[in-house]
Structures are given as structure tokens and as C-alpha cells.
Structure 1
Amino acid sequence: MPLTRKAYRAAILHSIADPAEVGIEASYEYFEDGLLVVENGQISAIGHATELLSTLPADIEITHYQNALITPGLIDTHIHLPQTGMVGAYGEQLLDWLNTYTFPCESQFADKAHADEVADIFIKELLRNGTTTALVFGSVHPQSVNSFFEAAQQLDLRMIAGKVMMDRNAPDYLTDTAESSYVESKALIERWHGKGRLHYAVTPRFAPTSTPEQLTLAGQLLGEYPDLYMQTHISENLKEVEWVKELFPERKGYLDVYDHYQLLGERSVFAHGVHLCDDECARLAETGSAIAFCPTSNFFLGSGLFNLPMAEKHKLNVGLGTDVGGGTSFSLLQTLNEAYKVMQLQGARLSPFKSLYLATLGGARALRLEDKIGTLHAGTDADFLVLDYNATPLLSYRLKQANNIAETLFVLMTLGDDRTVLQTYAAGKLVHQR
């Protein structure tokens, strides 16, 4: 294969550590006139353009962006493929919303043509919004995962997904059995896990929709394939938390249900965690598990405010999730706009550099992929974005008033959306152009 080497010149910014651990100044690298060098799908160099240009061959292709910022690709640690068609559905809290909108929408994914169509729309939306890696719920149908992975593989994307396991407390047309969920998940793992940049996640929807038998088999799958992911929901809504107590009276609490069935671990990601207690945060951190913080969805469904300072106190890995269709936008920039407000309502601050961390390196750490994605370090996958300072008239005008990169970044996160993403690159290839 011939060596492909290209360079990209613009302002460049990436997270290199969690601001909560090292302080804001030590948490990022910023090059006002930077250069990113890409070779065969990986980043080979990053630095000041003036220092790097002289090290490059004379014939290298250099793309120079004016009024733009290069950042790592964004990482969405919680999103539902089959809910694309009912995003922005009106007027319910979690449990009613599932029954009224979600389950009927998910029922269509046994059909390959439908699953293929939605997978195509879904991936285009992710890339348009600058999301290069996502942890994705399919439906209960294996076809939802096959369609998604087929589309992701064509673009060489780093994606993680799983078939929902759900054998009770859902409509008959949408349930599997403990045994069928195990067999179907295993077949998907064998077909897709580790193929290219794809990974599989064992996906019990949430404790109320799985019998003890199904949760046992979910834990068994994790034991059989040690580098699998596990994704589910936890403590999103107060009625849901009460329901779990009724269904599992023998367990200490919601997290203890998952703990008992051996679903906690270094690649386990629990969505929401709005109503966790200190002990549960400590246990998640101890097992290396992560939380997906989904502010847009938590506001939209009236679920509550995630306590990020409590998670930080326990050094718990936290990523960011759009949670489409409970969330109303594929944009992680818009999700960060909401995350800022969640902190404001709790009398806490969310700095733009912590926001950048959550959407990039924090998500990568939650997924144990920080050696591959989430930064622009040499040796990582060339998944990156070009953000356009002139994407809208208001953004352009507002950024002219910005005095430093902190202010610029914050404005991008409050006024930015899919229009701000000029280009998205995955493994060094252009996969979206506005």
C-alpha cells in the first residue's frame, strides 16, 4: 500500500488530561497556528506549524483552513439507533415515553430495508455533527446491529454497538428470551467484534426489562469474551428506581442488581446515573465502570440533574451521551450547552475545557480507547474535525469578540451545532463535508 501523508494547518486544540485532576491549564494543548500530520489513517505529528513545516517533504499536500479550529472527533457514549425516527416526541416521562413512542418505533427493525435506511441516516447524522465514535443501542432485532455495523464498516469508523436484550415488561412483539438473546448476541459477537474498528457491547436494556436468567447470561457473555463492552441504563428516573426495588427486593439497590449479575467492569458504561448515591459512585469507580452523562435527555424527559462533582470526587469515568431519541439533538456541542446549564442549576461550574474533555478524551477513557481516540497525539487514529468560526452570522460576529481560546471554545459549545462542523475525518479519510 503506498504511503499516504497529508497535513492540515489551522488552530488546533485537544484535551490531554482531566481538568478535575490536573487543573485547567495542564489539561489541554493549543496551537494557534498548528499543523496536524496524518499518515495512513493515523496522526504522525502535531505541533506549531512554524516548527513542523521544515520537517515535511516538499511535495506533501497541506490543507490550510482560515478561521477554523481542529479538534479530535467527538465521542457519544450513549445513543439509540432505532429511536432516530421518534426524536422530539412530545410530552412524557421515561416509562410512559417508552410505551407510547419508543417500543412501537423499535418494532420496525426486524425489516432489513428499514434497518439499512435508518442506519444510513443515523451514521450521516453522527458524522454531520462531528461524532466519530458512538456507543450505540440497537433494537432487540439482530438486524439493527448488522445494518449499523455494515454501514460503519464501509467508512472504517470506530463504533461500538449491541442488540438489546429484553425478555419481560415490554410488548410481546419486542421481547426475546433469555436463551435467544444469548444465542443472537453470541452470533453478532463472532461476526463483528474486533472486525476493523468495530466492537460489540452486551446490551440489556435496563434491569426492569430483563429477567434474572437473562442478566445471568449477559454476565456469562462478558466472561466468555473478556474485551467486550456492556451498556445499559441506571437511575435515570425516580419511578424507574422504585420499580427496580419492587422487581429485585433482594438487592441493596439499582446498581447492586447489575453488580450481582457481574455486569460491572472496565468496559461497562451505565447511561444517566442521575439518582446515584455516594456508595454507588464509589462502587462504579472501584470496578472501573463509567457513566454516560446525558443532559439533553435528562432535561427533555424531566429526569433530573446529574451530579458531576460527586462523580469527580470518586474519580469515576464520565463520558457524554446525546441519548437520541430521549435527547433531542445528535450534536454533542448542543449537548454541552445543556450540560453547562445542569451544572449552573446545581451551583457548580462547567469550564469549556472540562466540556471538551467530556466530549473527547473523557469519552475515550470511559470506553478504554484513549490510546486510539479522544486526543490528537501522534500514534492515535486520525479521527478529527474542522470547526468553522464563520458557520453562522451570529457565531462569526460573536467569535470576533472572543479574547482567548477559552472564550472561543465556550461560544462554540453554546452557539454551535451541526452547521459548525465543516469537515469530519475518520481514520484520515474525509467522511463528511458540510
Structure 2
Amino acid sequence: MARVTISDPTLLREIFISKSEYFEKNDSPPLVKKLEGDGLLNLKGEKWAHHRRLISPAFYLENLKLMVPTMGKGVREMLDKWSEMSKTATGKVEIDVCEWFERLTESVICHVIFGHRCEEDGTPSSSSSSIFQLQAQQMAYATEAFRKIFIPGHRFLPTEKNRKFWRLDKEVRHSLVKLIDERRRALLSSSSGGRDLPRECGPKGLLDLMIKETGNYNNNNNNVVAGGNGASRPAAATTDDVVEECKTLFFAGKHTTTNLMELAREEVLRVCGAHDPPSKDDLANLKTLGMILNESLRLYPPIIAIVRRAKVDVQLRELKVPKGAELLVPIIAIHHDPTLWGNDVNEFNPARFARPPPGCQMPCSHPAMAFMPFGQGERKCVGQNLAILQAKLAMAMILQRFSFELAPSYQHSPTVLMLLQPQHGAPIVFHNL
């Protein structure tokens, strides 16, 4: 199969925007698809469009802002533990922030799926935690499989590792079905009791949106449900659909200089104060922090590349793309292209995001298609707002209470395990202010 690498922003605009209808997402490897779930990441066509419309309200910025107080409580509890750990003679502590931020993210994902914190202490419930742990094991098996010589049909053989992967997949599904059934019964009980469905005035939970979309709360996978006039109509979502979307979100959701730190802290203290957690309105006014996050995402985008397949013969300016050809968009290479970003492309310089030109919709003065940490076009990551909101909130609250620098034990070794991440963790030394 022909594959062409495309990095020209002009051609990228055609691929993702003006001629996007002629391209589709390439098929994920079977092991990856099993892990990610047959949800938004892997669906195509009308079913993808329907699921996107259904799920998007849970990720609208106004809905996510309703979660800020709960998210802030989770961050505060994490920082309280750090403060206790730093009560030493030196007043500092080394912490691998990767592990802590993973747990924080798990709690936020639970909040998005269920519309509430899973446990009173802000940690995911035992059922949710087991899903995260099972998926982590699945990812380890999938990653190991990619590094071996490819043998056609090997994934179907009953090897020890394949049997373990199949068992993990069954356990993930069993745990998700159990959570879905529990929520379905709660909705049914609430509805039959003459009460409104829970949390109508609070943040919309993704699970409720999916269950309500089925048109009823019974536990079946039929493709037809009764309409309001007694006629049959196609079911918009089955239990299988809900399971696959939950697998997708559980998987996808989880995975400076001193002067700059002082500038960011000064902004946080000015906007939010020294002790109060940032409000939903405060976060929009943290411009310096936003520039720092954008520059971090430019240097280390979570998605390093995207592949699109031509559904028909397509003309992209002077380039003729035949049907079936794959176009590789190397996001990390585009983010490090000196012709787009300047000769300091490998330096950490948030100021490059400071001054957008008139009429530009992007947060920087470079071509819109030069910055795509969450993808581009209609398939751009639906959780982008959630990721940015959570990162801003956590960084602001850390700056209120700590100064920090890289630990001497830190080893700079980014690696790709589905997404870009530090191979040896991210140990940071924190000092109480």
C-alpha cells in the first residue's frame, strides 16, 4: 500500500478541512483496537458522526467548568499529601509526578463518565480502578507484541500471552457491563419513582448520555426499541456501544526556567490569590500558564502522528493521491520544523504563543496546521478541553504552594507507548513556599 508523508500546512488544511470528506481514519492494529475500544477513536462514517454528536455535550467547555470545584478538591488533596511528604529538615521532597497525575486523571475520567467523583476521597471506585489496571496490563502486552517479528495470524494462536490478553479483555468488559447495569438501574429507579434523572443541573455524565440515548433503560443489545407512538425505530446506542465508548474514554483519557516559573506564579497569585483554588472563570484569565502548556504540547505532543486513507482519487494541489493511499502526518516533526517555528524550534519558548495575528483563530502566529497536539479537523480529540482544563487547574494550584525543579535522578527519554510519555517517569523536587 502506498504511503506518503505530508507536512505542508497548506496540504494539511485540505486533508483535514476543505477535502476531509475524501479521507478516512486508517484502521488501528487489532490489538490496539481491542484495547482502545470500538468507540470514537475507531468508528467511521455515520456511526462515528452519531457517537460524536452524542458524546460531545459531556465535553463542552461549559459542562466541564461545572466540574472545576470537584477537580480542584482532588488536586488539593494530592498537594496536601505532598506537603506532608515535604516536612523534612530540608523542606523539600522528590516526587515522580507521573504516578500522581495518572491517579488524578483517573478520578477526573470517572467524573466525566459518571458525572460525580467515584469515592468520597476523590479516588476512583474499586471497579473503576480495576479497569485502569487491566487496561495497563493490556497495553504492556500489546506493546511487547509490536516489538516482536510479525507473524500473520499470531494473535489468534492460544499462546500464554494471547490467552492472558483475552482474559484481560473479558475482565474489562465484565467490569464495564457491571458499572453500566448499576447506573441503568439507578436511572430506572429514579424515573419510575417520579423523580427527575439525577444531576440535571450539574455536569452531564457521559454514561447517562449514552444510556438515555437508547430510549429505554432495559439491559439488552437489540437494534430496535419502541418509539413514542409504539412504532419501532433503530436504537441509537446498545449496551455494546456503551461498553466500547467507555473503553475508549478509560484508555484515551489517561494516557521551565526559574524566571518563567516566577512569571506564572505571579499571574496565578494575581488572578486567583495565594490560597483559593482557581474558579472556572479564573482559568480563562491565566494567559501565561496557557502559553506554557501550549509550548509543552508543541515540544511533546501526546499524539506523534496521524494517518489518513484516501477513499477516492484526490487531487491535493500538485499531488495526485490514488484511492487507498495512506497519508502520514508526522505531528512531532511538524512541531519541530524550523521553517514553521524558527531556529529556536528545539528550545522551550512559550513567548512564541503570545501574539496571535489579527483574525487568527490559533493561539500563535504560525500557520494553524503547524500546531495540532490533539489532531485536526472533525476528528480532533473530543477530550481536548478536559485535558487543558485539568492541566491548567493542577499547575495553578501547584504554583500557589510549591517551587520546583527537575530531580537529579531525572532521565530525559521520551518514548511512545500508544502515546508519547516519559520512559523513566518524571521525578521533580518540590519545595514548600
Q: TM-score range by the shorter chain?
A: under 0.3
Decide which structure has greater strand share.
Answer: 1
Decide which structure has greater helix share.
Answer: 2
TM-score, reference length from structure 1: 0.21
Structure label with greater radius of gyration = 2
TM-score, reference length from structure 2: 0.21
Of structures 1 and 2, the one with the larger relative CO (CA 8 A, separation 6+) is: 2
